[in-house]
Structure 1
Amino acid sequence: MKKKLSRWTAVFTVLLLCMGLCSGLPVSAAYENTHINSGNPRVDIVEIAKSQIGYLEGSLEGTVKGNNNYTKYNVWNGRISGYGSDGYGYPWCHTFVSWCANQAGIGTGVIPRTAGTGTGRSFFVRQGTYQQSAANGGSYVPQAGDIIYYGSGSSPSHVGIVSGCNGSTVYAIEGNCSDMVTTRAIGLSDGYIIGYGV
């Protein structure tokens, strides 16, 4: 009788799980993109990036802190030979941007799928959609949804997604900042900003 009851309990549990999956209930809620795209790519990429704030590198779920660059963004982007963590342990600030763009339905003809900040910046320059920062002589005021490049001169070393600008301060969401997805507020004329992919 006990064996029969255990078997029926197991069957019932499996049925409940299947019903949950079929009805669209999340299996794991940690840093899922739950945003439903509105059709406005600027709004969508920012909302998707916001849903990832707090994600920690070190596991696919983003809940275990590590320092090996292993993230779901790099797994999505693909292996790059020569890096640890089975080829997924490479700097991930641009793969975060590319993943958010993909989730927002933004094609690679608008925001490239790349791990390289230099490759990303060069893409916008070639497209004619790159704007110099104030520190580099530009007058462009960034908007939510722009891609912000940081570094020195024209050599980017980091990247994020602009979430807003109040005329003197730029707000951004960035991956691979202290091994996590986090936010930044930086002066519009700060020399660390080199430009924007618009």
Structure 2
Amino acid sequence: MMATKPEDRLLAVVRSQLGTTESPTGWTKYGSWWAKRHDKPASWALEPWCDMFLAWCADQAGLIDVTGDHAWTVGHAEWFKARGQWGHTPKKGAFVFFDWGGSRDIKRIDHIGIVEAVRGGTIVTIEGNAENRVKRRERSLANVAGFGYPAYLPAPAPAKPPAAPALTWTEKIVKELPTLRLGAGKSKTDPLRWHVKTAFYLLHARGFGPAGGADDTVFGEAVHDALRAFQRESGLKDDGVVGPKTWPALMRVA
């Protein structure tokens, strides 16, 4: 005979409680049990009991060590997250945490249930303290803050790091541009002459044109002085070098 899966064992206990209601005063056997277990005042039996209900069921199923033993939904969610057992994919047997405000902020969690089934874009849950009773609901994922996966379920896959943002056109160009220093372009066969020309006219466009008569293909003293003035004005190191920080500044729209 095949052994019952832990989640099915827990769900069997949970289903056995369907229809159970709190007393007219708000008392439940779940709150009373939890108060005694944790040496709390008897008044705990009158507290909101959605999480204490699941603790009671887990204890009955012999699974409380892997599901958590909580009365506060926020603390329970944090307990799962601290163990790497928190995520946003619905799974049968997972604990589902709700924030009626629609956020995924653990600090805003209002309510808890257990997932009985997953149906496309909705989940079937069983919840304690749902209209003051244990009740089966079918819910959308709109108000789900997250899921806690007890140890009987596979741990969620680690989140993929966000993809690096695509380079802007300026960044793509700059990555391919050479560094220009004083003396670049002196030889007529120097391939840097065209890049010097680009820097020369970018300086003009930025209002730092080299002194009249300067060769626009040679990185001479006039270009060097104009570049350093531009770097100072732009808050850059005035080293007189057109490098990975100066090229983007020159290309910025005036």
Query: What is the identity, as a one-letter code, of the residue corresponding to 2:139?
Result: I
Whether 2:62 is the aligned partner of 1:105: answer: yes
Whether 2:93 is the aligned partner of 1:145: answer: yes
Task: Give the aligned length.
Answer: 139
Which structure has the highest strand share of the two?
Answer: 1
Query: What is the identity, as a one-letter code, of the residue corresponding to 1:143?
Result: K
Deviation at 1:69, TM superposition (A): 2.9
Query: What is the identity, as a one-letter code, of the residue corresponding to 1:144?
Result: K
1:197 corresponds in structure 2 to 148
Distance 2:49 2:61 in 1: 18
Q: Counterparts of 1:65-84 in structure 2 under 5 Å? A: 66=24, 68-78=25-35, 80-81=40-41
2:22 corresponds in structure 1 to 57
2:131 corresponds in structure 1 to 178
2:212 corresponds in structure 1 to none
1:165 corresponds in structure 2 to 118
Distance 1:193 1:87 in 2: 26
Question: Structure 1 segments of 4 or more deviating over 4 A?
Answer: none
Deviation at 1:102, TM superposition (A): 1.1
After superposition, the C-alpha distances for 1:67-106 in whole angstroms (9 at most, x for unaligned) are x33111111111644xxx6342111000011111111111
Aligned residues: CA RMSD: 1.6
Consecutive unaligned residues of structure 2, counting only runs of 5 or more, are 150-254
Scaled by the length of structure 1, the TM-score of the pair is 0.66
Distance 1:41 1:100 in 2: 12
Scaled by the length of structure 2, the TM-score of the pair is 0.52
Q: Is the 8 A contact 1:41 1:105 kept in 2?
A: no
Q: Is the 8 A contact 1:76 1:99 kept in 2?
A: yes
- What's the secondary structure of 2:134's corresponding residue? strand
Whether 2:42 is the aligned partner of 1:42: answer: no
Distance 2:54 2:119 in 1: 22
Distance 1:41 1:104 in 2: 8
Structure with max Cα Rg: 2
- What's the secondary structure of 1:91's corresponding residue? coil
- If asked which structure has higher relative contact order (CA below 8 Å, sep 6+), I would say 1
Query: What is the identity, as a one-letter code, of the residue corresponding to 2:147?
Result: Y
